[in-house]
Amino acid sequence: MQSVAVILITLSTVVILLHRKVEIGHAMLAGSLLLQLLTWSTPELFLGAIRGTLQNFNTWEILGALYFVMCLEFQLRTSGLLNEVMTAARAHLLSDKFLLAGMPAFLGFLPSLGGALFSAPMVENASRGYEMTPEDKTTVNFWFRHVWEFVNPIMPGLLLLSQITRFSLSTLMLEMAPFTVAAIVIGWIFCLMRLREKRDISADEGPTSQEAVMEIQRKGWHAIALTAGPILLNIFLVVAFKLPASVAMGGVVALMAIILRQNASDIKKMLIHGLDRKLLWGIGSVLLFQQVLLDTGALSGIVTMLRSSRISPLVISGILAFVTGMLTGTSGGFVAVSMPIVVALAPGEIAAAVVGFVLGTAGQMLSPMHLCILVTVEYFKANFIRSLMPVALMEALMVGVLVIRYGVF
């Protein structure tokens, strides 16, 4: 129980600080220090966590990948490609609501940490005709980016789940496909159906001549190729050649600089734009918190307590995955921590694996350590708590689908 109290106090403190608009980096550093004090750990342990974070290859891999993601976002935005994509898409889609959901959903196929930065400018563009607060935009971008968590075969969490549980990817994807459908339907109902169009916005009169329409289509397909191409190329490099995400993304950015014919001044601006102090400091502090969490043994205390109880394996799977999802903010994190215990408690039971994955996903979606919500809140200058409140409601409905499917809880 001591570990549970320590974790709850620490997370509550972090959430309160975020709600009061304290920088995420400062809030997570405060959480790390508080966790160290509450567990009576020595200062040497905290210094060791700092060294461990700095010496960990994954730290620089994440920061490097995120840096180049921001560079690519700069290239797509300043080159006008995003606007051309939106113009072309509007010519074929019935409503901008499809763009609001479709753009983050499309870019959500790219399993990059902090990748919500890709779709945020598109959501901003598509939202101009609707009465939307920064929190509304944040929720839409964040939610629809993650609807493929259950069926995307290149998501790290799903790959790791298959490896640990020994169920094939195809088996897991078929079993969890209904949850992707549910996520899309729930998101559409609660995020988009209620939107009202602005009355004071003047509708753009599109070109009526055949030549103008053909020109829009030509530019549109060109823009779509240059926008989707870097994302698909990044996936190919990571999957086919096993390149680190930072290396693959760096190569893609360099190639785009050549294709877009960026001059030295533009490249300098792009490289400076990628060095977002608040964002990179925030992510680094999140990684430090995770290291302190492991080194202090606070997380293992919760795991041990749940494992020694007489609760149903399905319930343990859900609770354990949800807690670790909240603490790590990543699918790979909660799968790595919780699923080995789930497999030991319920070997060969796919329902336990699915329950754990769905509730673990709910935990990471509500976690203040989730990189996508951090970068989206920062982009739209939104309030963290108000952005997550609709997400909490929608995740509760996802749990309802889980209850109907497996009869747990």
Q: Per-residue pLDDT tens for 113-124?
A: 556 777 888 888
pLDDT single digits (tens) 25-61 = 888 899 999 999 999 888 899 999 999 999 988 788 8
364 Cβ partners below 8 Å, 6+ apart?
A: 325, 326, 328, 329, 330, 331, 333, 334, 370
206 belongs to a structural domain: no
In a domain, 389, yes or no: yes
Position 114 in a domain? yes
- 205 pLDDT more than 70: no
H helices then E strands: how many in the chain? 20, 0
Which stretches of 108-261 are DSSP H helices? Answer: 116-126, 134-145, 156-165, 169-187, 210-241, 245-259
Residue 400 lies in a domain: yes
Phi, psi of 35, rounded to the nearest 5 degrees:
-60, -40
By residue range, what is the domain housing residue 46? 2-194+211-406
Instruction: Give domain status of residue 200, yes or no.
Output: no
Cα–Cα nearest to 355, from 399, 391, 393, 323: 399
- pTM of the entire structure? 0.69
* Residue 204 forms part of a structural domain: no
Residue 108 lies in a domain: yes
277 in any annotated domain: yes
Summarize pLDDT for 364-373 with one digit per residue, the tens.
999 888 888 8
The structure tokens listed for 96 are: 């901008």
Quickly tell me which residue has 């290149």 as its tokens. 154
The domain total for the chain is: 1
Please state the φ and ψ torsions of residue 197, each to the nearest 5 degrees: -75, 150
Q: What is the pLDDT of residue 113?
A: 57
